[in-house]
Amino acid sequence: MSEGRAKGDAGELSRGSASEGAAGELPRGATIDAAYEALVDAFCTSLVQERNLSSHTARNYRIDLADFGRWAARCGVSPLAASHRHVRMYLANLDRAQYSRRTVNRRLSALRTFFRWLIVHGYAESDPVSALSGPKTAKSLPHAIPAAQMDALLSAWEGDATPTGMRNRALLEFLYACGARVSEASGLLVRDVSFESRLAKIFGKGGKERIVPLHDAAVEAMETYAIKARPSLLSGAECPYFFVSSRGAKMSTDSMRRVFKRSLVMAGIDEAYTPHDMRHSFATDLVEGGADLRSVQELLGHASLSTTQVYTHLSVAHLKEARRRAHPRG
C-alpha cells in the first residue's frame, strides 16, 4: 500500500466523516449496512462450525469487520461494494487515528478473509483487498519468563490446600508442562489426561490433536487436584472438563487469565506477563536444552516449522548473552 496515495484518496471524502476515529460514533441517521451485518454473522458462524476456530477468534473477526462497517456508514460507502480505493481510504483513516501497525494489519487480514469467503459463496464478484498489503511491522521475539521468575510463579499456590488453590497450582503446572494455550487448557477433558502414562491429549487450533508428555511436577499437582479438589468444586455435579470453576462448570479462558494475573501478583513478578508467555517459555527452554525443532513443533502444535523457528533466535540470543557474561573480552 502506498501511504501517500492512500492519504490522498482519503482526502476525497468529506473532511467531517473521514477525520473521525475509526471506531467513532456514527453520524445521526447513519447505520451499518444490514446486508453486510448479516453476512458478517454468517461468516463468523462458518469460522466456528466449518473451520473449527474458537468463538474467541470469531468474535475478534466480528469486531474488526464491524469497524469497517462503521467507517463505511460514516463515509457513505457500501461495504459490500467497496473498491480498492475505498479500502485504502479506510487504512489511511486507521493510520491517521494512530492505530498500531499490528491492528491495521489484523483488520486488513480480517477483510481479506471475509471477502474471499464472500466470493467463494457467491456473495461478491470481486475482491477489493487481495492486492493490498499492510504496513510492515518489526518482528518481535517471543516474551519468555526468566527461570527464577518462573519458579516463583509455579510456587505461588504452594501450601494452599483449598480446592481453588490446588486447582490453580495444577493449571499453572499444566500450562508450563505442555506449552498449552489457555483455550486448550479450558477445553481439556478428564478422559484426555492419563496420569499412568503421564500424557495429555490436547486439541489445538482447528481441532488439531496432539499428545504431550507431562513431567513429574505437573503430574503430582494435577493428580492432587483431580483427587482432592475437583470433587469438592463439582459438589456432586458432573462436568467432562478437567479444570472446573468454583461452581462446578467448565473453567473459562477469562477465568484462567484472571488466575494467572493473580498468581503474578502473589509471586511478586512483572504483571505484564500473559499465559501465552508460559507457552513461549516452554518452547524456549526446550530449544535451549537441546531439543530439535521438529519435536518442539509437534509439542506446540504448530502447522508450520517456520512458526517454531523463531525460538532458534531466542536460543542464539541466550548463547550470545552467556558468552558476553563469561568471555574475558565480553
Q: Which residues are 151's β-sheet partners?
A: none
- Of the candidates 112, 167, 169, 279, the residue annotated as catalytic is 279
For 116: left if phi > 0, alpha if psi spans -120 to 50, otherwise beta; the answer is alpha
- Of the candidates 74, 167, 181, 230, the residue annotated as catalytic is 181
Cβ within 8 Å of residue 191, ≥6 positions away: 240
Instruction: Retrieve residue 318's grid coordinates.
Output: 541466550
Cβ within 8 Å of residue 123, ≥6 positions away: 39, 80
Q: Verify whether residue 302 is a known catalytic residue.
A: yes
Q: Verify whether residue 167 is a known catalytic residue.
A: no
Side chain identity at residue 53, one-letter code: L
Q: Verify whether residue 28 is a known catalytic residue.
A: no
Side chain identity at residue 222, one-letter code: M
Q: Verify whether residue 311 is a known catalytic residue.
A: yes
Chain-centroid distance, C-alpha 282: 16
Q: Which residues are 211's β-sheet partners?
A: 201
- Of the candidates 101, 201, 205, 250, the residue annotated as catalytic is 205
Q: Verify whether residue 205 is a known catalytic residue.
A: yes
Rg value, the chain, Cα = 24
Q: Verify whether residue 99 is a known catalytic residue.
A: no
| Residues classed as catalytic | 181, 205, 276, 279, 302, 311
